[in-house]
Amino acid sequence: MTVPLAAPPRSMIAAPTHRRGIGAARARSAAVQRAYARRAQRTGALHTARANTVAGLTPFVVLVMVLLSAALVATLWLSTAAAADSYRLQSSREATRDLTERSEQLGREVATLETAPELARRALELGMVPAGDPARLVVAPDGTIVLVGDPEPAVPAQPVAPGGT
């Protein structure tokens, strides 16, 4: 980086008057004035370089802060989403448990309704009549058919009057 040569301010060029008993009336030589001018130019360039370095770091610092902020927001969002998913999972597990219990209960009810005594009771409620000893047809080895037993129609039970007898 090239720093333009400019005349330093008067306050930087003036030599201190309290040094080695030199009074204010004495003037500086041209060489001394040039040396002070170069010195002022160097220190001004140092201050300018430092300002340029700080100015160059500013976008980087802003970028890092934006990235950290985005990471923080993403972390908070993900943890909130995980908590919500956890609640939904717990709710789904409870619903599954309730449905499993209901399915087992229905399976027990079906098993109870399929027993022989329960089927007979329900058949009587529907007006069905129990069959007696049925007749059978038996096929002999020579192909003849023989009737075993006497076929009889089922007799319904007498209905009971609603008022009693």
As given in the structure block, the two tokens for residue 118 are 């329960």
Q: How confident is the model at residue 110 (pLDDT cuts 50, 70, 90)?
A: very high
Domain boundaries, the chain: 10-148
As given in the structure block, the two tokens for residue 53 are 């370095």
Residues 30-49 have pLDDT tens digits of 999 899 888 888 887 666 66
Model pLDDT, residue 24:
47
Any bridge partners for residue 136, and if so which? 148
The C-alpha R_g of the chain, in whole angstroms, comes to: 56
> Are 136 and 149 spatial neighbours (Cβ–Cβ below 8 Å)?
yes
* Rounded distance between C-alpha atoms, residue 58 and residue 64, angstroms: 10
DSSP E strands in the chain: the ranges are 136-139, 145-148
* Rounded distance between C-alpha atoms, residue 13 and residue 27, angstroms: 12
The larger pLDDT score, comparing residue 134 to residue 88, is at: 88
CA dihedral of residues 87, 91, 92, 98 (deg, nearest 10): 160
Whole-model pTM? 0.42
